[in-house]
Amino acid sequence: MSVADEGQVLDWFERALDRPAAERVSWLSTQAVPDWLRLRVLRLLQAESDLGGFLEQPVLVPEPDGFPQLGERVGPFQLVERIDSGGMGVVYRARRADEAYDQDVALKLIRPLHLGANAGFRAQLIARFENERALLARLGHPNIARILDGGSTASGLPWLAMELVDGLSLVAYCDRHALDIPARLALFRKVCDGVQEAHRHLIVHRDLKPENILVDAAGEPKLLDFGIARLLDAGDEAGAVSVTSLTAMTPAYASPEQVRRQPTTTRSDVYSLGVLLYQLLTGVRPYELAGLSPAEAERTVCDTRPRSLRVATDAAALDDDDRRRRLAGIDGDLERIVARAMHKDIERRYGSSEELARDIQRWLDGRPVLAHPDSAAYRFGKFVRRHRVGSTLAIAALVAIVSAGGIAAWQAHQAAADMRQVNAFLMDVLSMSDPFETGGELTLGQALDGAAERIDEYFPGRPDLSAEVRFGIGYSMLDRHRLPQAEAQLVRALQDHERVFGRDDARTLRALEGVAGLRQDQARIAEAEALFIDGIARSERAGLVADPIHLYLLNNLGMLYMAQDRYAEAGTYLQRAHDAWTAHHDTGEPSADQGNLLSNLAQVAHERKDVARADRLYREAQAIFEVLYPRGSPDLAIAIGNRGLLAEEQGDASGALALYRQSLAMRERVFEGDHPMVAVALTHVARMAAATGDTADALDHALRAVAMADRVHVQPSPRHASAYGTLAEARLAGGDARGAREALTRAYALLARLEAPPPSVATYLARVKASLCAAPGAIASCPEPATAADAP
């Protein structure tokens, strides 16, 4: 048998050993392997079983020639008992036998079964074992099991004696002691410290998994088993040790580059740490690979996006109290930390285990973490204000900062010196996003956030410039739903605009419209309404009815009224906006403003039950957006989703679900991260999937929706309450009345926090409650609507 054949046999043998002993033979019979390979693996399994009996009764079966037996000495140690076996070696408890001093150690030897391999394969195993011994000798860290001694047996087999760690695996320890999320993270940070120590010595572990991390009685984790580790500076020919074979690694914890047999780096260990962290937090691994062929396992690891932490936790086999504790501790920042550690693109992961540990410490300290969703990195500048006609003009100042073409908008107002000043600001912002300048990767969004704190420094004595820059950055933050940061910039921008340009200047009114939108997102509805009305009055007083800002103020006030179910008032202001557009802005060419206005008017007709008019206007708006944005846009996604609502109300369940899925897919492409628009689309799909009988899909989308809603709605929002109402629907559809009650109770508590809750949301929750109360045997599960005093 060749070395390659022997490696293939041992690969399948190790995979069989990962399964319970009683299932190994039947599992192997279902695998698509050649008969000769299956027979060879069956023989090894039988030998393994016999070997286990031998360890209990050593006189019955002889060990392979030259292999030490229990009771014999290896170097200065006597073998006492076999305590573990892995892919390559067998570990014994051994006791110091030379009377120099009392000491128990973990003594490791090559697995006995492998000694029967051909000479070439045996030589490879011995070389790998000696490599582990050499690597461990370089390391000294409290979270890495120390090497104490080493040598070779009389027959030439290498051995090493390590610190004996009497403890549980990392996951088992956390579960046995019922550690909460902060305690698990604090322990995990120590694991990261041990991995970082190896990385400092240019050693990549390449097989990080719970079984290779034991926690002792003092609660100190110890990193074990460097059997397939490699040196980053090793100059092996043809990359002999630069890739990991499936024979050696554990695929469930391996990085995409490992399962593809590509070169590994320290970031490969970071990925494995991310898998470990995922399992520590949720109770399950991100991927289940049992029974998959190597090709199927590779596709799963490399191409499948794992479920969010909250979704995985909710579906895990945990007791109810444990599940609730974990869900209460998992937030958006933890989701992002794990997502960054497990990013399939190696360049987008944390640069080291130390960076991962530092971000975890930031979370533990209650500070902002560095992990951010991909939306800011990949699609910065493409956020469009939801439900707003004025998105293009509103972000014009920001575009002027980040786009060379946008500078022309400034040239009408500023001298060349002013432009150089703005360009200097732009260049400094761009340099902040350059990892060679900052020592670490920053997204352009992060760089702008940092630059916002230094606007006064950039533009001393020039409030006219600083006000516009501040407005552009503030509106960007509002688009990213970073409301506290947006408030700091937009409120200051409005104050500066009024002081520099006057209360009725178009630039001031643009800033006022931004603050009004902020107040609406903060659920401060009365303030938002007053600002919009004030802005409209100012624009009319200043003769700005032909200016786009007048159109935007009219439209956005109409949208505010529509969100509050005040459709008569909404229709009045939206029609005024449409008349303003027709009189002053209609060029005969398709425009986003026109599409938005038609879509908004369609929503009013929709709510007034004018189905034919609503359907016509939705389709007209969609046609305009498809011309303007062939690759999709938020506005197009909204129009498609609203058509889904119309189809749902007309009883076309399958048509509605198809439109909802189309809208969701487009929103996810546009935003590529957390956003209220994505959360809303998830609830639509969940609700309709439940209605069509696909309860599993409904629950999956509902859980994703509430997880995202929890992350994005830092202020009270009717959409937050609606998301939990949808989760209640999905759980009820799946027969989980108790879970439905919990979700609906949460929905009522969120609704009670609202200053002016829309009647439609209260009506929706009442409908869900009625369904819950009508469920067989579920009368006791009916929650009562919360009051403001009950709100969290």
Bigger pLDDT: 295 vs 784: 295
Can you list the alpha helix ranges (DSSP code H) found in 542-591? 548-563, 567-584
Q: Residue 542's pLDDT is what?
A: 92
pLDDT at site 437: 38
Share of the chain above pLDDT 90, in %: 22
Token pair of 456 as six digits: 């006064």
pLDDT of residue 395: 35
Q: What is the pLDDT of residue 553?
A: 93
pLDDT in the model for residue 664? 93
Comparing C-alpha atoms, which of 351, 349, 340, 354 is closest to residue 193? 354
Lowest mean pLDDT among 8-17, 466-475, 685-694: 8-17
Give the pTM: 0.43
Q: Where are the domains of the chain?
A: 3-57+60-163, 178-219+239-371, 674-792
Q: In this predicted structure, what is the pLDDT of residue 427?
A: 52
SS3 3: helix
483 — pLDDT class (breaks 50, 70, 90): confident
Q: Which residue has the higher pLDDT, 41 or 248?
A: 41
Describe the strand order of the beta sheet including 213-215 as a list of residue ranges: 168-169, 213-215, 221-223
Please give the Cα distance from 146 to 148 (Å, whole number): 6
Asked whether residue 386 carries a pLDDT value surpassing 60, the answer given is no
Domains 3-57+60-163 and 178-219+239-371 share a fold: no
- Determine the pLDDT at residue 675: 85
What are the pLDDT digits (tens) for 720-745? 999 999 999 999 999 888 889 999 99
**What value does the mean pLDDT take over residues 531-537?**
95
pLDDT on residue 247: 40
Specify the pLDDT at position 377: 30
Task: Extract the tokens encoding 709.
Answer: 């809603």
Which of the four pLDDT bands, split at 50, 70 and 90, describes residue 454? low
Mean pLDDT throughout 196-223?
83
The residue-averaged pLDDT of 682-686 equals: 95
The pLDDT of residue 409 is 36
Residue pLDDT, tens place only, 332-349: 788 889 988 998 888 888
pLDDT band at 424 (very low <50, low <70, confident <90, very high): low
How far is 211 from 167, CA to CA, in rounded Å?
Answer: 11
Task: Flag whether pLDDT at 674 surpasses 60.
Answer: yes
Highest mean pLDDT among 115-124, 267-276, 405-414: 267-276
Instruction: Decide if 712 contacts 481 (C-beta within 8 A).
Output: yes
Query: Tokens at residue 405, please?
Result: 């073409």
pLDDT at residue 120 greater than cutoff 60: no
What mean pLDDT is predicted for residues 157-165?
79
pLDDT at 420 over 60: no
**Closest alpha carbon to 159 in 105, 110, 214:** 110
Q: Cα 662 to chain center, whole Å?
A: 22
Instruction: Classify burial at 310, counting beta carbons within 10 Å of its beta carbon; exposed 0-12, middle 13-18, buried 19 or more.
Output: buried
β pairing state of 203-204 and 230-231: antiparallel
Q: Is the predicted pLDDT of residue 532 greater than 90, yes or no?
A: yes
- 178-219+239-371: CATH superfamily: Transferase(Phosphotransferase) domain 1 (1.10.510.10)
Please state, in angstroms and rounded to a whole number, the distance separating the CA atoms of residues 779 and 737.
10
User: Which is more confidently placed, 391 or 443?
Assistant: 443
- Among 91-100, 538-547, 614-623, the least confident range: 91-100
Confidence of residue 141 (pLDDT cuts 50, 70, 90): confident
The sign of the CA dihedral 437, 442, 448, 450 is negative
- Structure tokens of 532? 């919009």
Query: 674-792 — its CATH code?
Result: 1.25.40.10
Burial class of residue 682, CB neighbours in 10 A (0-12, 13-18, 19+):
buried
Task: Please tell me the predicted confidence (pLDDT) of residue 777.
Answer: 59
CB 159 within 8 A of CB 109: yes
> How far is it, in rounded angstroms, from Cα 447 to Cα 666?
27
Could you tell me which of 100, 107, 114 has the C-alpha nearest to residue 153? 107
Q: Residue 464: how many CB atoms within 10 A of its CB? A: 17
- Of the two residues 150 and 166, the one the predictor is more confident about is 166
Mean pLDDT of the chain: 76
Q: What is the 3-state secondary structure (H, E, C) of 183-221?
A: HHHHHHHHHHHHHHHHHHCCEECCCCCHHHEEECCCCCE
For the chain, give the percent of residues with pLDDT over 70.
72
**What was the pLDDT predicted at 784?**
62
The mean pLDDT value for 241-261 works out to: 64
Q: Which of 105-109, 469-473, 515-519, 668-672 has the highest mean pLDDT?
A: 515-519
Residue 686 banded pLDDT, cuts 50, 70, 90: very high
168 token code pair = 């549980």
Assigned CATH topology for domain 3-57+60-163: Phosphorylase Kinase; domain 1 (3.30.200)
Tell me the mean pLDDT in the region 528-547.
93
Question: Residue 544: pLDDT above 70?
Answer: yes
| Predicted local distance difference test score (pLDDT) of residue 6 | 52
Tens-digit pLDDT profile for residues 53-64:
333 333 333 445
Flag whether pLDDT at 417 surpasses 60.
Answer: no
Q: Which residue has the higher pLDDT, 2 or 548?
A: 548
Pairwise CA distance, residues 231 & 467, whole Å: 54
Residue 47: the pLDDT is 59
Average pLDDT over residues 424-438: 48
Task: Tell me which residue of 482, 486, 428 sits closest to 459, measured CA to CA.
Answer: 428
Across the range 659-673, mean pLDDT stands at 86
Inter-residue contact 160 to 132 (CB < 8 Å): yes
Q: What distances in angstroms separate CA 427 from CA 403, 435, 476, one per listed residue?
A: 11, 14, 18
Contact 676, 713 (CB under 8 A): yes
Q: Is 599 helix (H, G, I), strand (E, B) or coil?
A: helix
What pLDDT does residue 388 have? 35
- Please state the rounded mean pLDDT for residues 100-129: 64
Task: Determine the pLDDT at residue 11.
Answer: 61
Please check whether residue 280 is in contact with residue 174, taking contact to mean a CB–CB distance below 8 angstroms: yes
Q: Which residue has the tokens 């919360």?
A: 786
- The predicted structure's pLDDT at residue 692: 92
d(CA 229, CA 364): 31
